[in-house]
Structure formats: structure tokens, C-alpha cells
């Protein structure tokens, strides 16, 4: 009987854990940041001075986004408010780092909708 109760408890915990992970997927922030900077580097023709600064901006942004991910499931409005604020902050920092033409090109790279095959989705959605 004790073994059955323990097994049931572990099963319930496992299902709960899997649902939580599905709702709040985690990403490899450093790897994703490097992929984003690599893609932007080619598209925006970044200088050697811009690339490490952009990597820092993107890494910090993705870390902040990861920190609020739990809100997405529990309080969508608060999540969207924080995400919009973070995106505005990122865009302001990017404007300062990139030239006008580079920044406009950056904006044009936004996927029309979230796309799991496009790493830039992490910056825009």
C-alpha cells in the first residue's frame, strides 16, 4: 500500500513537472544570443566593435525575458506589459549602438509571426 501511494505521488509530481516545463520552456541563453548576433552580424554588416556590445545587449534581454516567463501562464497582461517595456528598452539601446540604416534593417528582419525556425523570433515575440 505504501509503495502504491509513493508511486502515485511520484507519478502526479512527474506529470505536474512536465506540464510546468511545457508552459515555461527554457532556452540556452548564451547559445541563442550567439546565434542571434551571428545572424544579425551578417544581415546588418556589424563592425568588430558592435558585435560584442550587441551580444551583451541580446544576452541581457534574453535573461530578463527568461525571468518573466512564469508570468506568461499566470498573468498574461502583466507579462505583456513587462515584455513591451523590455522590448522598448532593447530598441532604444539598439538605436544607440546601430546606425540609422542598420537599425531600420534590424526592424525589417522581424518575422511576420513567431517562427520556431527563425532565431530572431526571440527578440520580437
- pLDDT one-digit tens code per residue, 18-35: 343 344 468 899 999 999
| Cα(12)–Cα(43) distance, integer angstroms | 47
DSSP 52-73: HHHHHHHHHHHHHHHHHHHHHH
Mapping DSSP to helix (H, G, I), strand (E, B) and coil, where does residue 46 land?
coil
Residue 8 has pLDDT above 50, yes or no: no
Q: What is the DSSP letter of 81?
A: H
Chain mean pLDDT for the chain: 87
pLDDT tens per residue across span 82-114: 999 999 999 999 999 999 999 999 999 999 999
pLDDT tens per residue across span 31-41: 999 999 999 99
pLDDT value for 46: 98
Amino acid at each position: 500500500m505504501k509503495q502504491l501511494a509513493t508511486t502515485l505521488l511520484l507519478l502526479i509530481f512527474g506529470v505536474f513537472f512536465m506540464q510546468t516545463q511545457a508552459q515555461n520552456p527554457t532556452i540556452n541563453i548564451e547559445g541563442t544570443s550567439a546565434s542571434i548576433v551571428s545572424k544579425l552580424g551578417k544581415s546588418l554588416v556589424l563592425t568588430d566593435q558592435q558585435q560584442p556590445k550587441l551580444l551583451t545587449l541580446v544576452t541581457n534581454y534574453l535573461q530578463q525575458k527568461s525571468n518573466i516567463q512564469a508570468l506568461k501562464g499566470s498573468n498574461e497582461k502583466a507579462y505583456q506589459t513587462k515584455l513591451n517595456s523590455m522590448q522598448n528598452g532593447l530598441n532604444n539601446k539598439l538605436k544607440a549602438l546601430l546606425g540609422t540604416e542598420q537599425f531600420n534593417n534590424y526592424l525589417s528582419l522581424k518575422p511576420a509571426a513567431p517562427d520556431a525556425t527563425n532565431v530572431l523570433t526571440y527578440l520580437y515575440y
